[in-house]
Amino acid sequence: MDAIASALSLKENLISYTDLKEEELFVIFPEGASLDAVESLRKCDIELRSYDWSEKIDPDILRRSSIIVLDTASEDQLPSYIFDEMKKNRDVLLIDHHQNNTLKAKVFNYYWDPTLASISELIVQLFDREIQVPLAKMLFLGILTDSSRFLRASSLTFNSASKLAKIVEYENVRKCLVKTAEDRSLRLARLKAMQRTIIEEIEDRLITVTYVSSYESDVADFLLKAGSDVSVVFSPKKDQTRVVVKFREGADDVLRKKVLGPLRDLMKAEEAGHKDIVIFVFKKPLTKGVIQKYISEFRKAMKNRE
Ligand SMILES: [Mn+2]
């Protein structure tokens, strides 16, 4: 949604502020539009088909053009003929906000700002005249989707949203967001995690330990919200096992040591993170049975440190 809104709005912008003509600008969505995006737009009374865009472009036209690539983090999101042209074309500009962007190292020019919650919020700032209602709705949806409804947001996110809220009713746009299939698997992961959660009490503090195969970070947050002081979530992946540890704000060092010490001894894994989040990456996939054994050893070790 963010990419669609940004691209269509940028085109509009370039037409109003430069001498570029409508027919000189091509909007390409190489992966098409996602079903969720189309559904959101439909609920907001916007027909994406009524806009001028395509999934492909003639490689000859591409070669003779300046290229702006929006909201794209890696080359797998692009067909190879576009990526190959991007690598060669000096007149290319990548604009992105993804934390892990591997594409920027491969192109001549980029603007990369991972503090942006969305590209849409950046594009809103480019307009200095009224934004048309359908584009305003799209940009608002782009911001809402990428910021997880303002869960990740900066002053720029709010500033742009506020500009849009003067053109379209926030409540009407919010209603256009669709529940994605992901929502269901996320809910399932949370419920499974709850079912498997064990609760330890150490000096009045509540520590929850569980395992899920995906959404471990979200599940760790969820367990904090549910009341834990520390949540420890094991997650077996194809070629590694991750353990996400999240502390409630204000957790003290004693508690940190009691939880992280035994995990370090047990996992002997690479560790990254900051104050309230620590992630261990163990370079081996573990089966559920082995993870359950690790969890019970971890419990014992925590108790022994008491
Ligand atoms: Mn985005």
User: For 12-64, how does the pLDDT look when each residue is reduced to its tens digit (9 = 90+)?
Assistant: 999 998 999 999 999 999 989 988 899 999 999 999 989 999 999 999 999 99
Rounded alpha-carbon distances, angstroms, from residue 298 to 115, 227, 302: 36, 20, 6
- Cα 200 to averaged position of ligand 1 atoms, centre (Å): 39
φ, ψ for residue 41 (rounded to 5)?
Answer: -65, -40
What's the confidence (pLDDT) of residue 212? 96
- Cα 95 to averaged position of ligand 1 atoms, centre (Å): 10
- Cα 118 to averaged position of ligand 1 atoms, centre (Å): 5
- Cα 281 to averaged position of ligand 1 atoms, centre (Å): 27
Q: What is the mean pLDDT of residues 190-215?
A: 94
- Cα 102 to averaged position of ligand 1 atoms, centre (Å): 15
Q: How confident is the model at residue 78 (pLDDT cuts 50, 70, 90)?
A: very high
Rounded Cα distance, 156 and 107, in Å? 27
Cβ-contact 144, 164 below 8 angstroms: no
> Does residue 146 surpass a pLDDT of 80?
yes
Q: What is the mean pLDDT of residues 73-86?
A: 92
- Cα 97 to averaged position of ligand 1 atoms, centre (Å): 7
What's the confidence (pLDDT) of residue 24? 94
- Cα 180 to averaged position of ligand 1 atoms, centre (Å): 16
- Cα 246 to averaged position of ligand 1 atoms, centre (Å): 26
What's the confidence (pLDDT) of residue 185? 87
- Cα 73 to averaged position of ligand 1 atoms, centre (Å): 9
Lowest mean pLDDT among 86-100, 132-146, 177-191, 239-253: 177-191
Position 52, amino acid? D
Residues, CB-to-ion distance under 5 Å, ligand 1: 2, 71, 146
Closest CA relative to residue 98, chosen from 69, 124, 126: 69
- Cα 163 to averaged position of ligand 1 atoms, centre (Å): 19
What's the confidence (pLDDT) of residue 181? 64
- Cα 198 to averaged position of ligand 1 atoms, centre (Å): 37
Q: What is the mean pLDDT of residues 188-195?
A: 95
- Cα 298 to averaged position of ligand 1 atoms, centre (Å): 39
- Cα 291 to averaged position of ligand 1 atoms, centre (Å): 35
Q: Which CATH class is domain 182-304?
A: alpha beta
Cβ-contact 54, 11 below 8 angstroms: no
What's the confidence (pLDDT) of residue 175? 94
User: For 250-306, how does the pLDDT look when each residue is reduced to its tens digit (9 = 90+)?
Assistant: 888 888 989 999 999 888 888 887 778 999 998 888 898 999 999 999 999 888 876
What number of other Cβ atoms are within 10 A of residue 50's Cβ?
7
What's the confidence (pLDDT) of residue 200? 93
Select 2-174's CATH number: 3.40.50.720, 3.30.70.150, 1.20.1740.10, 3.90.1640.10.
3.90.1640.10
Q: What is the mean pLDDT of residues 183-195?
A: 91
- Cα 196 to averaged position of ligand 1 atoms, centre (Å): 34
What's the confidence (pLDDT) of residue 245? 96
> Does residue 5 surpass a pLDDT of 90?
yes
User: For 217-230, how does the pLDDT look when each residue is reduced to its tens digit (9 = 90+)?
Assistant: 999 999 999 999 99
User: For 83-139, how does the pLDDT look when each residue is reduced to its tens digit (9 = 90+)?
Assistant: 999 999 999 999 999 988 999 999 999 999 999 999 999 999 999 888 999 999 999
What's the confidence (pLDDT) of residue 182? 67
**What residues does CATH 3.90.1640.10 cover in the chain?**
2-174
- Cα 135 to averaged position of ligand 1 atoms, centre (Å): 16
- Cα 53 to averaged position of ligand 1 atoms, centre (Å): 19
- Cα 233 to averaged position of ligand 1 atoms, centre (Å): 27
User: pLDDT higher for 306 or 164?
Assistant: 164
**What residues does CATH 3.10.310.20 cover in the chain?**
182-304
- Cα 1 to averaged position of ligand 1 atoms, centre (Å): 8
What's the confidence (pLDDT) of residue 30? 93
What's the confidence (pLDDT) of residue 176? 96
251: left (phi over 0), alpha (psi -120 to 50) or beta: beta
Percent of the chain with pLDDT over 90: 75
> How many Cα atoms are found within 13 Å in the side-chain-facing hemisphere of 71?
23
